Amino acid sequence: MNHLPLIIKREYINKVRNKSFIIMTFLSPLIMVGIFSLVAYLSQLNNDQVRIVSVLDESGLFLKDFENTSTISYNILDKLSLSEAKQISEESENYGLLYIPNSENLETLAEGVTFYSEDSPSLQIMNEVENVVERKVNSLKLKDAGINSEVIRELHIRVNAHQETFKGQETSKMGSYLKLGFGGVAGYLLFMFIIIYGNMIMRSVIEEKTSRIIEVIISSVKPMKLLLGKIIGTSLAGITQFLAWVILLGVFSIVITGIFGIDPSTVQTPQQEVINQAVDGGTQEIARNVIMEINNLPIVNLTIMFLFFFIGGYLLYASLYAAIGAAVDSETDTQQFMLPIIMPLILAIYVGFFTVIDNPHGTVSQVFSYIPFTSPVVMLMRIPFGVPIWQQIISLIILFATFIGTVWFAAKIYRVGILMYGKKPSYRELIKWLKY
């Protein structure tokens, strides 16, 4: 008798029809797009405002150097004492007052520069103002030393090293960021998937225990089949939800952009800024680089390994979640067992985002890409940087061997646990169950 399709179908339909599942499917992308748009809108609002900064320059050296920018409008004060200038700035509700003292010596002048304001000023404004003063003081000093600042500018040569592997493949900084992006997305996706749907499996096991239907079911079905059906059914529901999220995210972004005229992509994340600075070239060159780098990525390798590591990693953790569900009576009892599951996952993400970025082929990265509980995430992040196939295969073999071990372990716990009611078991008792 083949029960597996029946169980998978029930698990799937039951999950997908669940009200909170449906609500989450539609609400999550809406909330995400909403928050992004809000942030975009707010940062636009924030930057639109032009601040008025008064300047009291007693040295008279800087009069021509303060040019209005998109964020700051300068108001040059003349022939006033410092206290008068302060009073005027405060009364006219200026953002701040920049005071430059008069001094023979440029160093003491620079040290005497003071910015007065209502509260502590924003870093951006301070940077801008300091830059203006600094540039002027520097060029003045150069002049004192008898060097023309034009000469300096001409002497300056930008170096943008071409990167090439020993095998003659062209690479670029852009490429590194792209690789990081691909690996990061893959690793993070797996992490999220495990947490969300592993929990869902656990809850569904607990539900069968608390509703006491479990004994009725396993008088018809082998526990192993029920476990397998549950994991597959829930995973299919998870994939459905993920696909729905991707599609809905696209639709909602288009709709919101259309209605409000806000482009969520204008929100600059710190990483994007870094990329922009690193590339620092014309947009055409960026486009050329991106296409070249995408072509250079080991796409086939990446896709195949993504599937294998994703499935292996997910199943590994899913079976553990199911075992926890079987061991306890209610969700509140799961806490003590969750830690050993969550820890390696978080470790994997940290190793991925710090160590792999730093050195994709360093010892730490390598070791963690072999340990089965972290390898799916870490290896997925390393692969775009080029990992020899044999290493990937060894890591996969370890992963799947461990998976067989955890399924055996989970099935043992599951078989005994689903019939145990009452008190919460300790780790020692769980080990005893393995011998039943």
Partner 1 sequence: MEKLLKATNVSKSFGPYKALNNISIEVPKGSIFGILGPNGAGKTTFLRIINQITMPDSGEVFLDGKPLAPDDIRHIGYLPEERGLYKTMKVGEQVLYLAQLKGLSKQEAKIRLKYWFDRLEIGDWWDKKIQELSKGMAQKIQFVVTVLHQPKLLIFDEPFSGFDPINANLIKDEILNLRDEGATVIFSTHRMESVEEMCDHIALIHKSNKILDGKLIDIKRAYRSNTYEVGLLTENKEAVNSLIRERFDVSPASFKSINDELQYKIKIPEKASPNELVSFLTSKGQLNHFVEVIPSASDIFIETVKNN
**Site residues for partner 1 per CB under 8 A:** 1, 3, 6-7, 10, 14, 18, 207-208, 211-213, 215-222, 419, 421, 432, 435-436
Least distance from partner 1 to the Cβ atom of residue 379, Å: 39
Least distance from partner 1 to the Cβ atom of residue 406, Å: 22
Least distance from partner 1 to the Cβ atom of residue 211, Å: 4
Least distance from partner 1 to the Cβ atom of residue 431, Å: 11
Q: Which is nearer to partner 1, 162 or 435 (CB)?
A: 435
Least distance from partner 1 to the Cβ atom of residue 336, Å: 22
Q: Which is nearer to partner 1, 10 or 135 (CB)?
A: 10
Closest listed residue to residue 241, CA positions, set 15, 5, 392: 15
Which alpha helices (DSSP H) does 261-298 contain, by range? 270-279, 283-296
Q: Which is nearer to partner 1, 234 or 369 (CB)?
A: 234
Contact 61, 81 (CB under 8 A): no
Least distance from partner 1 to the Cβ atom of residue 227, Å: 14
DSSP 292-349: HHHHHS-HHHHHHHHHHHHHHHHHHHHHHHHHHHHH-SSGGGGHHHHHHHHHHHHHHH
Q: Which is nearer to partner 1, 408 or 421 (CB)?
A: 421
Least distance from partner 1 to the Cβ atom of residue 314, Å: 25
End-to-end CA gap in the chain? 27
**CA 130 to the chain's CA centroid:** 33
Least distance from partner 1 to the Cβ atom of residue 241, Å: 18
DSSP 229-245: HHHHHHHHHHHHHHHHH
Q: Distance (Å, rounded) from C-alpha 319 to C-alpha 400?
A: 13
Residue 167 identity (one-letter amino acid): K
Closest listed residue to residue 388, CA positions, set 278, 327, 298: 298
Least distance from partner 1 to the Cβ atom of residue 213, Å: 5
Rg (CA), the chain: 31
Least distance from partner 1 to the Cβ atom of residue 332, Å: 18
Q: Which is nearer to partner 1, 49 or 219 (CB)?
A: 219
Q: Which is nearer to partner 1, 134 or 215 (CB)?
A: 215
Q: Which is nearer to partner 1, 222 or 423 (CB)?
A: 222
Long-range contacts of 281-288 (CB under 8 A, 24+ apart): 281/160, 286/174
Number of Cα atoms under 13 Å in the Cβ half of residue 32: 14
Residue 410 identity (one-letter amino acid): A
Long-range contacts of 248-254 (CB under 8 A, 24+ apart): 248/25, 248/26, 248/29, 248/30, 249/29, 249/32, 249/33, 252/29, 252/30, 252/33, 253/33
Q: Which is nearer to partner 1, 124 or 426 (CB)?
A: 426
Q: Could you tell me if residue 102 is left (phi over 0), alpha (psi between -120 and 50 degrees) or otherwise beta?
A: beta
Contact 381, 172 (CB under 8 A): no
Q: Which is nearer to partner 1, 7 or 315 (CB)?
A: 7
Q: Which is nearer to partner 1, 17 or 143 (CB)?
A: 17
C-beta neighbour count of 374 within 10 angstroms: 22
